Amino acid sequence: MKKTFTAYLLVILGLTQGCKHNVAQWRGTDRDGIYHETGLLDQWPENGPELLWVYEGIGRGFAAPVVSEDKIFINGEQEGKSFLFALDLEGNLLWKSPNGDEFLGEGFSSTYPGARSTPTILGNLVYTSSGEGRIACYKASTGEEKWAVSIVDDLDGEVGYFGYSESVAVDKDLLYCFPGGSETNLAALDRFTGLTVWSSEVLKDTFAYGSPVLVDLPARQILITTSRHHLFTVDRSNGELLGSYKLKGYEFDGEHCNTPVYADGHIYFVGNDVAGQGAVKLELSQDGESIKEVWRNEEIKNNFGGLVTVNDHLFTTVKGNWLISLAPDSGTVADSIKVATGSLIYSDNKFICYGNNGTINLVNFSQEKLEITGKLKIKEGTGHHFSHPVLASGIMYIRHGDAVMAYRIK
């Protein structure tokens, strides 16, 4: 009986871990901006890495691509409609599928129209959302829509002033989303049917622009995310609120867009609020119910370029065109280097910073020191340079408005 139980447990654990590592999604396997590539170029050629191909025609937006074993998926807006595009690894269009209306905005927000969210892939299913909050599931092989749910019409949620920007998270059975309504604040859907499994009012706080992180703790499986005024944890089995941390300050056009990062029992977050949230390191208890502040640095601010933790140091880019490193125990600046402020990812002891001015910097990180060893200016594409870089099998994928590009960096 003991052997049978042990074998059963190993199978279950294998399925859980396999599910986790088969997910291709926003900011890498664990949504922490870390890509597990090896053998990448330590230095780029003078004119930048080799450009393999460019595909133009994905429409407006800032949504990053996501890469499976044989396809690239990316969202774009064309003539006010949202589309999910599938390309092969040579940059050829395989199919595109509609996903309702895309976000165009009003007033100031109309200067940032287009797709926001990165698709999530698990097995032969792709999950994505439009800027108007239509969450849909498609067959990865054909683009056939399996089901769709509106956060407004079906979940009593609301679309933020700058659009619904969440990249939905999935695990073995469920899809998690933040409609942001007073009653259906957070929801879990059956990922095969789209039916609501549970909904939770959590803190009854309204929307933010980030995306959730799924963490398996010793005591339970939890979700970590942000609302307008809080960072909080919930039990993924039922949506029960476990712990919360009040975020300081609030900025209407830039608040709480970053995805939190979880690493070694701690949660890291960087805000961009005028009132001084800044960067924070939080200690999370093993049951997910206690969130305690370790330090907070109000001077370190980042809007939506992301953050990365390496060797317990927090890295992010800040205004004035700096990549900075914050010390583990105090949150003070331990090191910095001049780069174009923008989106940040990490792999193979290297940071890749895609600046808001279109300049990409390769930054080697060795013996706790930062050194620029490559530079590339993005010339293809249109609009703002807000998308996050993506790495897969030695290829760097960059989205700039209507274009997606593939560069060999291995």
219-243 residue pLDDT tens: 999 999 999 889 999 999 999 999 9
321-377, pLDDT tens digit by residue? 999 999 999 999 999 999 999 999 999 999 999 999 999 999 999 878 899 999 999
Of 184, 185, 188, the closest CA to residue 205 belongs to 185
Compute the average pLDDT of residues 24-38. Answer: 96
Return the bridge partners of 230, or none: 246
Please report the pLDDT score of residue 368 as a whole number.
81
């659009």: which residue's tokens?
163
Q: Give me Rg for the CA atoms of the chain.
A: 20
84-119, pLDDT tens digit by residue? 999 999 999 999 999 999 999 999 999 999 999 999
CA distance 248 to 76: 33
CA distance 27 to 196: 26
Residues above pLDDT 70, as percent of the chain:
93
| pTM of the predicted structure, to 2 decimals | 0.93
Compute the average pLDDT of residues 188-209. Answer: 94
For residue 248, what pLDDT band results from cuts at 50, 70 and 90?
confident
CA distance 64 to 396: 12
What is the residue-averaged pLDDT of the chain?
92
104 C-beta neighbours (distance < 10 Å), count: 16
Domains of the chain: 1-30+66-209 (2.40.128.630), 34-61+305-385+387-410 (2.40.128.630)
Residues 6 or more apart whose CB falls under 8 angstroms from that of 89 comprise 67, 70, 71, 72, 395
CA distance 296 to 158: 31
